[in-house]
Structure 1
């Protein structure tokens, strides 16, 4: 499959900004801290980790969430294999992804391990402690094809006002259907229409304090 070129600008030298969506790929304040706060703590990780734990993600972006999650998996001493599936319509070019990841020295060892895979546009990575799949295409169609339900979701599309496709009720309903009982989801947004769509899909949402300058974010759980 021929990759589409994803046009970027760089802010402050390190932060990639999508021209398509006019939105930065991660927080201008501290992208790694935001990932850890919103997606890892928001899904009650690492306490829920177990062999075969499956994370699914809307919006792969720079790969920061993957790096931070694998770092937590390893640093927490978790045994077994983490499964991680990410859905992305417009993958970044390898050189841009590698450049963006260099902004996080704490993750440098993992970034260096995975850089050769990005450089060759690898879409599946199998390591002793990681099975990663990047699914290209419109998530409104591709999420339906995911066979293994997720234990946790990272809902990390661009802002709902700029990237409404990743926040449509039908897609969020599919997300809920592809979630195990007691599974969770987390997102940086607290937009009312997103929370209502998640609630209508069968997830129980809670609005909690957000990261940095964001007043609120959303966590959700599927009933047992």
Structure 2
């Protein structure tokens, strides 16, 4: 993909799992990336049951696009969904194709995705979904975004290795760009992340994680008049 933005430097585990050299972290679970996406981001946000015409998803960390493809597979009913993702280091199409080859189930939606991505498009069109990938540091691009989300996928690299994408300031921006009653889900249950989301206005719940991860986090945005809290889950 032709882009002025720096692509990620990658290593490949088992020849198929991309690992960021910058953050020393894999792009998806070694135990099964598609299953992880469904468990964490779809089920964690009550999807696909909440889908309706005009439903809005936003995401921190586009990566290989696997979360987007999982949504495309899950959204088989009527109505149009919008999907906005924030990505600082866009992965070139050949690397995405190599990574997604591990998931034959998404092959039917991978081809139209990659054709657009390889052509340099950052607004991607599908029959019942439009995806917009905003390139650049999310600390700047999210603050300037005028949209809101009904569901957030918080999918940056590990908070221990990529703390900038989990800062209290950025979590406040996530809350500011969440519709009333909107939700988030993330694979991490790190205490400082949960506190930042709680302080931003979400009621945060610890939930069973995927694979070897004992816990993950989900939450719902409370009205401004309701004090946020962390529930024991």
TM-score category of the 2 structures, normalised to the smaller one: over 0.9
**Partner residue of 1:197?**
196
**Partner residue of 1:34?**
36
**Partner residue of 1:4?**
6
Q: Partners in 1 of 2:170 and 2:18 — Cα distance?
A: 26
Q: Partners in 1 of 2:5 and 2:171 — Cα distance?
A: 26
Please tell me whether residue 223 in structure 1 is matched to residue 222 in structure 2.
Answer: yes
After superposition, give the CA deviation of every residue in 1:115-172 in whole Å (9 maximum; x if it has no partner): 1012112100123311110001110111122222100000000000000010000000
After superposition, give the CA deviation of every residue in 1:32-76 in whole Å (9 maximum; x if it has no partner): 0000000000000011100111100000000000000111002xx
Moved more, 64-73 or 94-103: 94-103
Unaligned stretches of 5+ in structure 1?
none
Q: Which runs of 4+ in 1 moved over 2 A?
A: none
**Partner residue of 1:133?**
132
Please say if residues 38 and 186 of structure 1, whose CA atoms lie closer than 8 Å, have aligned partners that are also in contact: yes
Aligned ranges 1:70-109 → 2 under 5 Å: 70-74=72-76, 78-109=77-108
What is the TM-score of this pair, normalised by structure 2?
0.93
User: For this pair of structures, how many residues does the alignment match?
Assistant: 221
**Partner residue of 2:27?**
25
Q: Partners in 2 of 1:6 and 1:195 — Cα distance?
A: 28
Q: Partners in 2 of 1:52 and 1:101 — Cα distance?
A: 28
**Partner residue of 1:16?**
18
What is the TM-score of this pair, normalised by structure 1?
0.96
Please say if residues 57 and 153 of structure 1, whose CA atoms lie closer than 8 Å, have aligned partners that are also in contact: yes
Provide the aligned C-alpha RMSD in A: 1.0
Q: Which secondary structure state, in structure 1, belongs to the residue aligned with residue 143 of structure 2?
A: helix
Aligned ranges 1:59-208 → 2 under 5 Å: 59-74=61-76, 78-208=77-207
